[in-house]
Each structure stands twice: as C-alpha cells, then as structure tokens.
Amino acid sequence: MLLFRTGALLPIDVKTRIALIENLLQARIYSSQIDPQINVGFSNFGRTIAEKLESKRNMLIHGLWDRHEGKWHVLRLAAKRPTPALEPDIPHLSRAVVPQREVITAKKLRSITREIVSARKKIERLCKQISASLPASQHKPPEYTRRRSRYHT
C-alpha cells in the first residue's frame, strides 16, 4: 500500500499500518462509537503480526531461494547476528556481509503458511466486528479486488 503525501508516494509497512489503525480506533473510541475492548484486542494482535509474522511473510515472499545439496534454502540478508568468535572486535556481523542459509522443509513451509492464513482470517473477523459496531456510512466503499490494472500489459 502506498500513501500519497506531499507529492511523493511512500510505502507503508506493517508497523505503520497497525499504528494507523490503532489511531483510527482510538478516535472512534474517543467519540464513543465503538467498544474500547476492540482496540485492546487489535493492539495485542497487531504486535503479534508486526513482531512475528511480518518477517516470516517477507522471507517467503521476498526471500532469495536456492537449492543446495538437495535441500531448499532461503538466504537471510537482513538484520545482524551475534559473532562470539569475533568479539570484541566485531560484536555483531551483518547478514549482508555473510548471508545465512536457512533450510526450509515442506513441513516448515506449511506451518508458516498456516500461521499467515490464520492471521488473515483473524483480521477479517476483527474488520467485521469493527464495521458492525460503526454507524452506517453514507458512502459506498469500493469493491475489493486483487486485480490491478497496472500489472496488465
């Protein structure tokens, strides 16, 4: 998702989206339009998504995949890892310097996929719960579609 601001398109990451939704929920709570418990439930769930699922999803979608010695691996290029062998000269080594292979089995792939799908379903339930508690809008929302015109040639 992109945010149009001061003439520039800015990408919105998960943490920004969660903060934006929390702010909108708090505004509705402040004006007594929705139950405060909805925000508590969303905040806890939002932290789970931001801390655990975002990195797994990015690894699956944007990761560099390779097959090495008959096993599938994804290369981790981001973040830092401790390097006790190089301390005190280099306490942490960036994965961009030396990428780290992570073996991905079919079982692990299914597990991550199930986590992401269950999070998506929970988000849908939260959206229905929030929209059911809001007053009727005078505007008709656009129909959701995964189809994007700019991807077609």
Q: Which two tokens stand for residue 94?
A: 């960036």
Q: Which two tokens stand for residue 53?
A: 């699922």
Per domain, the residue ranges of the chain are 2-134
Peptide bond into 88 cis (omega under 30): yes
Question: Pairing state of beta strands 100-103 and 2-5?
Answer: unpaired
- Alpha carbons 74 and 47: distance in angstroms, whole number: 25
In sign, the C-alpha dihedral spanning 127, 18, 59, 87 is negative
Stretch 125-139: mean pLDDT, rounded? 77
pTM, whole model, 2 decimals? Answer: 0.61
Q: Tell me the pLDDT tens digit for each residue of 59-103.
A: 888 778 888 888 888 877 666 777 777 778 777 766 666 667 888
Confidence of residue 10 (pLDDT cuts 50, 70, 90): low
pLDDT at 152: 52
